[in-house]
A = this chain, B = another copy of it.
Amino acid sequence: MKKIKPRTLSGFMELPPSEQVYFDAMAQKFKDTFKLFGFTALDTPIMEASEILLAKGGGETEKQIYELRRGNTDLALRYELTTSLAKYVALHYNDLAFPFRRYEIGKVYRGERAQRGRFREFYQADIDIVGDGGLGILNEAELPSVIFKCFAALGLSDFVIHVNNRKVLGGLFEIFGIKERAGEAMRLIDKLGKIGGGNLIKSLTDELCISNQTAEQIVGFVSYSGDPFSVMDKYMGKSGLFDTGADELRSLQTHMAAFGVPDTHYKIDLSIARGLDYYTGTVYETFLTDHPELGSICSGGRYDNLSECFSDRKMPGVGMSVGLTRLFYILQEQKLLNDSFLSAPADVLIIPMTDDLTHAIKLAENMRRAGLRVQVYGENKKFKNKVSYADKLCIPFVVFLGEDEISKEIITVKDMRSGEQTSASAGILTAGICGKIKNYSDSVIAYGQG
């Protein structure tokens, strides 16, 4: 038979089993946290009619969409989860209760140029709350609080969620009389972290024909490092939009404190603008404290009209999105995954030392009933090979079950880390293993001091 060289496409993450365990545990923490806040799961198709996915139109992203044709239909693979949500809400409007709170964790596809750390197939984890007609400010405080709890549950502690409100920036531009250049100004401000204050002043004056004095005032405002409310106070009462934005940021702060987010983990950062016109209120970006160069690991914001391509109804919402595949790549690269996390596929390997496997199978069943993950090694191999199988998979406990044990109604357990070997009744040793397994760390990530 002709052999084909096996390969996986570049830009597609395919993990070894022991790393997949970390990835899955990470995704599970997000799910569990989303559920505690009453978010409902959606699982929308990966493939849609092209006209649906391209409804919003425009930009670089469109070029990256994987398209295919089947019969008379142009099909495409989704490149993010928001368009699928917009379609879902418009299509199933009558069956939903609003505010509609959903999460979706799923694969998306972008035909990006192949390079390290860029993925063509990757997971996004999105949460959104979508209102019918209106949506209260509480939701804008809840989302970053949920995200804080997700990261905390993962064991990640050195991160800060930066929040701002586009109404504040929009109001500021009104005050300076450059309202009609607001979108471009926001896109430039979004680059402050990369280019620095001096270059931002230059860009604002050169590209947007803003006076040097105004540009300096804008940059002074967005890069103010003291109490953000004190710099906002100077402009209060001059623009309704600005005042609303400042009030919303104040509510956000009050509510996030009630949600239990410590002020070490979020920050009102007036320079967060986000490039997209889509956002109309609160905006978010999240940075690892020691690695701002890695960019935001979770972003989002308030939008006013989720389904405008599909429906006449005004459905404002707020959403945040984590690129799980990229986050996992970063955590691996930075060696932030927790070594003490149990990544073995089983807690126990039973090695039967008799031809009759019945006792081993029954013992395994009893141990599973106690919640342990158990394999029985049933292959006809040398003893050495059986033990090295457990070693290679890092299975922490090996049970030997020979004639001697069976006749005495005991089992022999080897703790593979300490090398210690104990013989006693199956009940006692099963309970002992359960106790030791519970002591393994529950944290996927080991980063920061909490």
Contact A312 B3 (CB under 8 A): yes
Q: Which of B24, B47, B376 contacts A109 (CB 8 A)?
A: B47
- Interface size on A, as a range, is 35 or more
Q: Which of B42, B121, B349 contacts A45 (CB 8 A)?
A: B121
A438 contacts across to B, CB distance below 8 A: none
Contacting residues of chain A (66-106) with chain B, CB-CB under 8 angstroms: 66-68, 70, 73, 75, 87-88, 90-92, 95-99, 101-102
Contact B91 A357 (CB under 8 A): no
Nearest to A348 among chain B residues (CB) is B38
Contact B345 A47 (CB under 8 A): no
A225-243: CB near B (< 8 Å → 1, else 0) gives 0000000000000000000
Contact A373 B47 (CB under 8 A): no
Contact A43 B68 (CB under 8 A): no
13 CB contacts below 8 A, A to B, read: A3-B310, A3-B312, A6-B307, A6-B311, A17-B102, A20-B42, A46-B107, A47-B120, A66-B75, A135-B379, A138-B376, A254-B358, A259-B361
Contact B88 A365 (CB under 8 A): no
A14 contacts across to B, CB distance below 8 A: 43-45, 88
Interface flag for A139 (CB, 8 Å): yes
A392 to B51: give the CA distance in the assembly, Å: 32
A312 contacts across to B, CB distance below 8 A: 3
Nearest to A310 among chain B residues (CB) is B6
A138 to B66: give the CA distance in the assembly, Å: 44
A307 to B357: give the CA distance in the assembly, Å: 29
Interface flag for A428 (CB, 8 Å): no
A1-37: CB near B (< 8 Å → 1, else 0) gives 1111111110011111100110110000000000111
Contact B358 A8 (CB under 8 A): no
Say how many copies of this protein the assembly contains: 2
A329 CB, min distance to chain B CBs, angstroms: 14
Contact B66 A374 (CB under 8 A): no
Contact B43 A23 (CB under 8 A): yes
A67 contacts across to B, CB distance below 8 A: 68
Most chain B C-beta atoms within 10 Å of own C-beta, residue among A88, A109, A307, A345 = A345
Contact B42 A17 (CB under 8 A): yes
Interface flag for A155 (CB, 8 Å): no
A260 CB, min distance to chain B CBs, angstroms: 5
A48 contacts across to B, CB distance below 8 A: 8-9
Contacting residues of chain A (346-391) with chain B, CB-CB under 8 angstroms: 346, 349, 357-358, 361-362, 365, 368, 372-376, 378-380, 389
Contacting residues of chain A (136-182) with chain B, CB-CB under 8 angstroms: 136-139, 142
Contact A1 B308 (CB under 8 A): yes
A88 to B121: give the CA distance in the assembly, Å: 17
Q: Which of B139, B368, B379 contacts A134 (CB 8 A)?
A: B379
